Structure formats: structure tokens, C-alpha cells
Chain A
């Protein structure tokens, strides 16, 4: 029972209170870049959840069994980015072979994820917070869910914005940033939750 309560706390904290995009400022490039259409936002979100969960697991194992046992802590950045890059490649190949339908919808987003700082960010946060293996995986998964949630919200708003009458200089990026600011403002309301 205690374990379930802990999972719940982690979920609320990673999705709402410390939302990766709006509170920690990670993964902003896809957040602003891929949020113009709802269906591509959904594809991106699913790919990010998948890769973040996998990356959390692999980087945790590499950190404990290779970097820490061999006392190579200073190689952390290089080791993690290479792990993530090869993981993304590998996942792409597996999906392409085993699930062509899924590949069609996720394929274009996978290469973009290597340079998504949310993935490297979650790996580093897992280490800094000294989470256990299970906690790391859950944190990666829920952080991905939080990312997808705000990405979808943003895409929904931007689709409607297409039809809005805006001053010429506000079109595109400026208005997207201001909407993001308003969303961050509303997510700031969750900061008062004590779990």
C-alpha cells in the first residue's frame, strides 16, 4: 500500500508540480516546434514517453554498474548522451522491423529526440536525486507523461489560434511563448500542493 502511495506522489509531482516543460524548462524545442498540429504532438509525446522511460532505465544501470564501479563519474555527460543516441537508433530499428504501423506514426520524431534535453535531463535528475532503479523508471515515465500533457494542451490552443486575429508582429513564436507563460502561470498553482 505504501508503495502505491509513493507512486501516486511521484506521478503528481512529476506531471504537475515539477512539470518538465513549464517548471524545469526542459524539452522546450519540441514543445515550441512540434506543437502546431494535434496529431503530430500526440506522436511526439508518445515517442518521448517511450524513450524517456527506456533512457532512465539504461542510464541508471550504466551509472551504477560502469561509471561508479570504475570511478569514472566525470565521463557521465559523454556516457549518457551516447547511451541515449544509440538507444534512440536501436528503438527506431526495432520499431521499423516489428511494428511498421507504429513506425509510420512515430518514425519521424525519433531522431529528433536525441537532442531533446528532457531525455538527458531526466537521466541527470535521476542521478542527482539518487533514485532507486524502480523510482528512476517511474520518474522517467511520469516526466514523459507530463511533457505529453502540456504538449497536447499547447497544440490544441495553437490550432485554434490559427484563426485568431493577431497583430502582425505577435504572430508565430511570440504568441506561442506568451501562451506558454500563461500555462506556466496556471501550473504554478500546483506548487502549493504539499505531498
Chain B
């Protein structure tokens, strides 16, 4: 299979959030600011790439009956690595992501790719698959987070974008819990509208 195809399908055609609808919990929980979205997306990308590589390497040794527990242990090890690395180098983001870093373990995207792709393909294409899926996930998080942060605070990445009058009384609901659901719902509806084949 063409490597470029493997890489790019995760970005748009099989985007984990908008098309496959996997990994909803972190998507909605951490997208209250763009910086959190980037942090979460990159952490998940790291875990996805590493676990895809390792699972593809050891797929010959894993008996198929206990493959799911094996995958989970591999994923949990990499999550622990990224958890400790983030706590050491970016403590602020680590703190604001809170329990959602350990919860990357149960993110369905990662287990899903391990099961659907890495356990059947070679190392190089598994790596590109992980990278594409991870960046597609990150891109979707950043898009949602940008909309929510812009509407909810009038700022992007902490820098003022909208006029001061808006920043003084922003649409606070967008960064609260309901805003997360409604933003994602409307985004998905828009995607469906754009995707609809022209008759």
C-alpha cells in the first residue's frame, strides 16, 4: 500500500473524530483552550505511533486469544512514559489535562488502530498510520478548541483576537461543558452537509 495514502487517510478521509467518532471523552473534555488541545493531541500521537510500532514488531509472538490485554499493556506503558515526561517538562499543561493523560489508555482510537492496522501490517506503514491518525486527531482537537476558545473568551492561545468589548463579556457557555457538545454537534453536521454527494 502506498505510504502517502496510509498517512493521509487519517487526516481527513478517516479522521478519527469526525468520521470514525472515536475518542470522544478527551475530545470534549480538553478542548476548552487551544493549548490544551495541542498538548492532548501530541501526547496521543506519541502513544499512537509508539504503540503501533511496537505492536507491529511483536505481532508474531502474541497469541490471538490474549491480544487485547497485550495491546493494553503496551499502550499503558507508553502512556506512563508520556505522563512522566509531561509532568517533568510541561507541568502547566500536565496539570490542566489532569486525569485525561492516564485516560489515553482507554482511548478507543489507539486500541482501535492497534487491532485494525498495526496487528496486520509492517512496521513502516504502521508508523505512518499512527502518525496520520494522531495528527488527524490533533487537528480536529485544535479546530474544536479554537472555536470554543474564540467564542468563550475572545482570545486564541491566550492572545486577544476579538475586540475588547467582546472579551469583557464573552459567550462563556462555549468553554463550559454544554459548549463542547454543541460545538462538536454543529461541526459534525457541517461536515455531513459538505460531504453529501451532489445529485
Please give the residue numbers on chain A whose beta carbons come within 8 Å of chain B beta carbons, in ascending order: 22-29, 32, 74-78, 81-82, 85, 114-117, 120-121, 124-125, 128, 167-170, 173-178, 180-182, 184-185, 187-188
Contact = CB atoms under 8 A, between A and B. Distances in A.
A173 B188 contact: yes
A78 B22 CA distance: 22
Interface string B27-53: 011000000000000000000000000
B186 A178 contact: yes
Nearest to A120: B106
- State which size class the interface on B falls in: 35 or more
A145 B45 CA distance: 34
Contact of A29 (B25, B105, B176, B190): B25
Among B22, B176, B190, find the residue whose CB has the most chain A CB atoms closer than 10 A: B176
A128 B100 CA distance: 13
A70 B187 CA distance: 48
What are the 8 tightest A-B residue pairs by CB atom distance, in nearest-first order? A177-B185, A181-B181, A25-B29, A181-B182, A169-B192, A174-B189, A28-B24, A178-B185
B189 A125 contact: no
Main secondary structure of the interface of B (DSSP, over half): helix
Given A85-B72, A188-B176, A117 B192 contact: no
Contacts of A29: 22, 24-25, 108
Contacts of A180: 181, 185
Interface string B105-119: 111100100000000
B198 interface: no
Contacts of B178: 181-182, 184-185, 188
B73 interface: yes
Contact of A121 (B103, B111, B182): B103
A22 B177 contact: yes
Contacts of B3: none
Interface stretch (B7-15, B74-82, B120-128, B161-169): B74-82
B76 A78 contact: yes
Interface of B: 21-22, 24-26, 28-29, 69, 72-73, 76-77, 79-80, 83-84, 99, 102-103, 105-108, 111, 173, 176-182, 184-186, 188-190, 192-193, 196
Contacts of B21: 32, 173
B25 A28 contact: yes
Nearest to B18: A173
B102 to A, nearest CB: 5
A30 to B, nearest CB: 10
Nearest to B76: A78
7 contacts: A28-B28, A115-B108, A120-B102, A125-B99, A170-B189, A184-B176, A184-B180
Given A29-B24, A124-B102, A184-B180, 20 more contacts: A25-B25, A26-B25, A26-B103, A27-B25, A28-B24, A32-B21, A81-B106, A85-B69, A115-B108, A117-B25, A120-B103, A167-B189, A168-B192, A169-B189, A169-B190, A170-B192, A180-B181, A181-B181, A182-B178, A187-B177
Nearest to A125: B99
A107 to B, nearest CB: 17
A28 B190 CA distance: 21
